[in-house]
Amino acid sequence: MSPTSPEIKAQVSVSRLRCINCGATADRAEQNFRCPNCGDLFEVFYPGWETSRGLRAAGHDAAALKQIWRERKTSLAPADTSGVWRFRELLPSLAHGHEPITLREGNTPLYDLPRCARAAGMQSLQAKHQGMNPTASFKDTGMTTAASFARQEGFRWVACASTGNTSASMAAYAARGGMRSLVLIPEGKISWGKLSQSLDYGAITCQLRTDFDGCVKVLNELVGRKPIYLLNSVNPYRLEGQKTAAIELLEQLEWQPPDHLVVPGGNLGNSSALGKAFLEMKELGLISRLPKLSVIQAEGANPFYRSIREHGGKKLLPMQAETLATAIRIGNPASWKKALRVIQATEGTVEQVSEVEIALAKAEIGSDGVGCEPASAVTLAGLKKLVKQGYVKSGESVVLILTGHVLKDPEFTLQFHRGDLFTGSAHETAAKTLKPQQRAPLVLDATVDAVIETLERFDSEG
């Protein structure tokens, strides 16, 4: 196909940036990705979608888009085998001659969770497992887009502050794209699995003596002083890529939206991105109604929950965050205003869950043969509460977004099963209820009898 063929042209979605607060527009952002007028965040919008006959992404109607995306599943071209770039009509386009940096991200499974459904009092329950991405978290879907723009703009260095997953993903995509990467993570408060990933992918990894919010502060000053491309989720190109999980989900559901989508909330980029996707899909006629998007936080890292429940979403008071779900140990979430808009537009809600509730939900997701990291398990823990409150009805369709793979944080899992996750903590008494879920490894003599005896003991337990 020649570069000027109509088909290639039709795939281009011209995008611009718009401030979510003052509405100022721009073609490109400063290095801190903040609006120069008011300091708030930018979002990507597509002026070219508006036609006299309504909204059309890259000139296609909804039926044509669905067909193009389905046909690409049989293509072997790198951009088509990516579960992100396959949906490129809804993404900002790279300039002619620039290829995406891709690890074949996206393409993640949608699983039934029958045991979890029973535990939550639901007739059925599904989970989209974003931990099945190349670096084992949902971050890859946004990193492929933003890292590709970093390379297009000629940056040698990219950087992020992270609780571990963004940094693992960024390090991988920077390495694939021939860029250098700088990671700022809180010392001692991220899992070894995530830390080891960024080392292996060759990032310069700095463990700062502070928390995630402190790392963000240092990074923001740093990008003002050095030519470094910022890859935190304030970067709106990340959220555009993360949108595709929602598009892919709807394709998997044959374009029938679920009644509810339940998402963990940390820095609140992911809920913002998924919500943006739903709103755009509705405007483009790809779906006819919106799922209610609800955000779940850990009790010890619940600034968004408190903002909505205590201040009607009018302000967010930063807090000192503390939770064993270290991925969402965030006290001052950058994208809270974007997430608030999504909750309001979809009539979703917020909930908070305790440390013991998170641990139980994680084991239950594991017992369905799926597994996830602790931060992802807040979704099931939160769903149980929403069902009890009557906000979610047992016959409704619900999809949980599982954000990270079970192997991201094996230490948590081992301590849980050994029964010492909460030893010496304020949750020790409440954690006694977890005993039936715990399966500590058994150390036995190396005899068949010892193994058979163990087998029979468990068999008689049912």
| Region of 52-60, 82-90, 216-224, 371-379 interacting with ligand F0G (CB under 6 A) | 371-379
CB of 37 to ligand F0G, least distance (A): 25
| Region of 58-66, 266-274, 281-289, 343-351 interacting with ligand F0G (CB under 6 A) | 266-274
Give 137 or 397: the residue with its C-beta nearer to ligand F0G: 137
Please tell me the distance from the alpha carbon of residue 29 to that of residue 31, in angstroms, as a whole number. Answer: 6
Please, are residues 202 and 179 in contact by the beta-carbon 8 Å criterion? no
Interacting residues of 235 by C-beta distance below 8 A, sequence separation 6+: 33, 146
Contact call for residue 376 and ligand F0G (CB under 6 A): yes
- Of 13, 162, 205, 294, the one binding ligand F0G (CB under 6 A) is 162
Contact call for residue 270 and ligand F0G (CB under 6 A): yes
Parallel, antiparallel, or unpaired: how do β-strands 110-112 and 126-129 relate?
antiparallel
Query: What's the per-residue H, E or C state across the chain?
Result: CCCCCHHHHHCCCCCEEEECCCCCEECCCCCCCECCCCCCEEEEECHHHEECCEECECCECHHHHHHHHHHHHHCCCHHHHCCCHHHHHHCCCCCCCCCCCCCCCCCCCEEECHHHHHHHCCCCCEEEEHHHCCCCECHHHHHHHHHHHHHHCCCCEEEEECCCHHHHHHHHHHHHCCCEEEEEEECCCCCHHHHHHHHHCCCEEEEECCCHHHHHHHHHHHHHHCCEEECCCCCHHHHHHHHHHHHHHHHHCCCCCCCEEEEECCCCHHHHHHHHHHHHHHHCCCCCCCCEEEEEEEHHHCHHHHHHHHHCCCCCCCCCCCCCCHHHCCCCCCCHHHHHHHHHHHCCCEEEECHHHHHHHHHHHHHCCCCCCHHHHHHHHHHHHHHHCCCCCCCCCEEEEECECHHHCHHHHHHHHHCCCCCCCCCCCHHHHHHHHCCCCCCCCCCHHHHHHHHHHHHHHC
Contact call for residue 244 and ligand F0G (CB under 6 A): no
Contact call for residue 300 and ligand F0G (CB under 6 A): no
Contact call for residue 163 and ligand F0G (CB under 6 A): yes
Contact call for residue 375 and ligand F0G (CB under 6 A): yes
CB of 444 to ligand F0G, least distance (A): 35
| Region of 56-64, 261-269, 355-363, 445-453 interacting with ligand F0G (CB under 6 A) | 261-269
Give 13 or 141: the residue with its C-beta nearer to ligand F0G: 141
CB of 181 to ligand F0G, least distance (A): 13
Parallel, antiparallel, or unpaired: how do β-strands 204-208 and 110-112 relate?
unpaired
Contact call for residue 404 and ligand F0G (CB under 6 A): yes
Please tell me the distance from the alpha carbon of residue 132 to that of residue 404, in angstroms, as a whole number. Answer: 8
- Of 102, 135, 145, 166, the one binding ligand F0G (CB under 6 A) is 166
CB of 371 to ligand F0G, least distance (A): 13
Give 13 or 241: the residue with its C-beta nearer to ligand F0G: 241
- Of 62, 328, 361, 380, the one binding ligand F0G (CB under 6 A) is 328
Give 292 or 405: the residue with its C-beta nearer to ligand F0G: 405
Contact call for residue 269 and ligand F0G (CB under 6 A): yes
Residue among 151, 188, 189 at smallest CA distance from 170: 151
Contact call for residue 373 and ligand F0G (CB under 6 A): yes
Give 49 or 416: the residue with its C-beta nearer to ligand F0G: 416
| Region of 18-26, 146-154, 262-270, 355-363 interacting with ligand F0G (CB under 6 A) | 262-270
Give 13 or 167: the residue with its C-beta nearer to ligand F0G: 167
- Of 165, 302, 307, 413, the one binding ligand F0G (CB under 6 A) is 165
Give 241 or 269: the residue with its C-beta nearer to ligand F0G: 269
Contact call for residue 264 and ligand F0G (CB under 6 A): yes
Contact call for residue 377 and ligand F0G (CB under 6 A): no
CB of 263 to ligand F0G, least distance (A): 8
Give 89 or 213: the residue with its C-beta nearer to ligand F0G: 213
Contacts with ligand F0G, 88-127, as mask; x by CB under 6 A: ----------------------------------------
Contact call for residue 233 and ligand F0G (CB under 6 A): yes
Please tell me the distance from the alpha carbon of residue 137 to that of residue 372, in angstroms, as a whole number. Answer: 10
**Residues at the contact surface with ligand F0G, assessed by CB under 6 A:** 137, 139, 162-166, 233, 264-271, 327-328, 373, 375-376, 403-404
